[in-house]
Chain A
Amino acid sequence: MKQRLMSKNARDTLVYGILGIISFLLVWQLACLFTNFGRIFPTPGESFRALMLAFVEPIGKYTIVGHIATSLRRVLIGYVLSSVCGIFLGLLMGYSEMANAILFPIFSIIRPIPGIAWIPLAILWIGIGESTIYFIIFMGGFSQMVMNTIDGAQQVNRELVGVAKVLGIRRHQLFGRILLPSAVPYIFTGLQTSLSTSWMAVLAAEMITATEGVGWLILSGMQTGRVVNNVIGMLSIGGVGLILASLLREAERRLCIWSVRS
């Protein structure tokens, strides 16, 4: 019996997947050729060529690599800041009932406000510049991080605290040895969600106030009529977003092997 290189399931996934992508590209190409769509929208071929070109020829200030790097830099700074502050505040509010009682009302007012909504305020306060963008990204991820951390802090299994006490743990050891480790999976969930909201925030901020970066790139496509800029911008966003999310998932897998979460 001839040995199969791939299981039937794997083969199906490949075949149907490729079929799906090809049909999509076909519809796209046909729509460009035969309808009004093509007057504004570039064909798949044009898009691909433009993408390749963008690696060497700058659009605006940078090549596409430069734009991606700029956006990434902004996201990273804002994200790290909002995660650190978010975790700190979340732990504070999660473990101290007093701190929670005091801070909760103010936080509840800020929480439902989307990070993006802070843009006009930020511009009036700080002006147009890098700091504003960092601020927006910070606000984009902050409240989510706090909520998830509070969740983690409060979900701590009371029983496990009792077990540790029976084994002789002293009060000052409780936090580092029991409370914090059991909150980690929840903190990671928060990190994942706030990464995607931070990414969204940087795009919107760049569309409104920047002169470089992937968000600007997409907007420029709309403003200059070069829709192909839109397409390559979106593709790069999608690609980078995907990579960031996978990196984070991998990090979680390694640090939380012990967790039974799906």
Chain B
Amino acid sequence: MKKKTKYALISVASLIVFIAVWQFLSTSGILSARKLPPPSKLFNTFIYKLQNKKPDGSMLGTHIWISLQEALYGFALGMVIGVPLGISMAWFDKFDKFFKPLFDIIKPIPPVGWVPIMITFFGIGMMSKVSVIFIASVIPAIINSYSGIKQTKDVHLWVAQTFGASRMKMLFTIAIPSAGPMIFTGARVALNGSWVSLVAAELIASTKGLGYMIQTARLIGRIDIVFVGVLVIGLFGAMLMGLLTFIEKKFVKGGRR
């Protein structure tokens, strides 16, 4: 048997064994079902939540949709503002020197630290979360676009100069295209940061969304809903990243690493 298939089978077997053991331990009572609901119950809860608004006021689908919206709005906003900002900082020296100290002060503050202030300003609605996610997204967008432009090969610029290209022309025809892969890396970091900050923001204060769902479930002791919520959060996080990788493979040539 080929090595690759052998290990693939072992992985599948491992997963099956894991779920089976879990199911056994929970249903037989060796591990309290209150602390660790069996996979069968989780599956049922999942189906239930897809159709029921109880106990937190919305169906699972609604929660997912709200969370996705908040995350993607914040992400997109962060990229749209961050990438041009990062590029300008890297290309225009005076701009760079002006903004850098401010940026260096803001950078080390984790996005989740902005949640309370945003809630003070915007209340518990969508806006507060989108603004936190915006910050989570804009910082890596700036950093990576900046790096990408700064790494433009001198050689390429010299070639353009001998052809008489102006500085602006060089920016658009050489610097930005060659920064493509790094900008995409920035997008990846920004997307990941967006999703993580989304969860944090929703846990702290929200009325809808996956974070809200698991927080509420915790308060009333429904650990099965918490479990389902956590797994769905993980699943969608992975799907978003996968989508981005797919887009990158299709559109960025001379790609990463």
Contacts and interface: CB of A to CB of B under 8 A. Distances in A.
- Direct contact between A and B in the complex (CB less than 8 angstroms)? yes
Interface of A: 12-13, 15-21, 24, 40, 97-98, 100-106, 109-121, 123-125, 196-197, 199-200, 203-204, 207-208, 215, 218-219, 221-222, 227, 230, 233-234, 237-239, 241-242, 245
A203 B10 contact: no
Contacts of A124: 35, 218, 221, 223, 226
Which 9 pairs from chain A and chain B are nearest by CB? Answer: A16-B97, A120-B218, A222-B116, A241-B108, A113-B234, A105-B15, A200-B110, A112-B238, A101-B7
Interface string B7-38: 11011101100100000000000000001000
Contacts of A227: 117, 120
B230 interface: yes
Is chain B's interface secondary structure helix, strand, loop, or mixed overall? helix
B109 A234 contact: yes
Given A16-B94, A238-B109, A102 B11 contact: yes
Interface in B97-133: 97-102, 104-117, 119-121
A19 B96 CA distance: 12
Interface string B34-68: 01000000000000000000000000000000000
B215 interface: yes
A42 to B, nearest CB: 11
A246 to B, nearest CB: 10
Contact of A19 (B3, B11, B98): B98
A143 to B, nearest CB: 10
Contacts, number: 168
Contacts of B157: none
A104 B11 contact: yes
Interface of B: 3, 7-8, 10-12, 14-15, 18, 35, 93-94, 97-102, 104-117, 119-121, 195-196, 199-200, 203-204, 211, 214-215, 217-218, 221, 223, 226-227, 229-231, 233-235, 237-238, 241
Q: Which of A105, A120, A203, A222 has the most CB of B within 10 A?
A: A120
B94 A12 contact: yes
Q: Which of A219, A238, A242 has the most CB of B within 10 A?
A: A238
A118 B230 contact: yes
Is chain A's interface secondary structure helix, strand, loop, or mixed overall? helix
Given A116-B112, A234-B114, A121 B230 contact: yes
A235 to B, nearest CB: 8
B98 A16 contact: yes
Given A21-B102, A207-B115, A40 B234 contact: no
B10 A117 contact: no
B234 A17 contact: no
Given A101-B11, A123-B218, A109 B234 contact: yes
Given A12-B97, A112-B241, A124-B223, A241 B116 contact: no
Contact of B120 (A40, A113, A118, A234): A40
Given A230-B117, A241-B110, A120 B14 contact: no
Contact of B97 (A17, A98, A104, A218): A17
B204 A207 contact: yes
A97 B9 CA distance: 13
B197 to A, nearest CB: 8
Contacts of B203: 116-117, 119-120, 204, 208
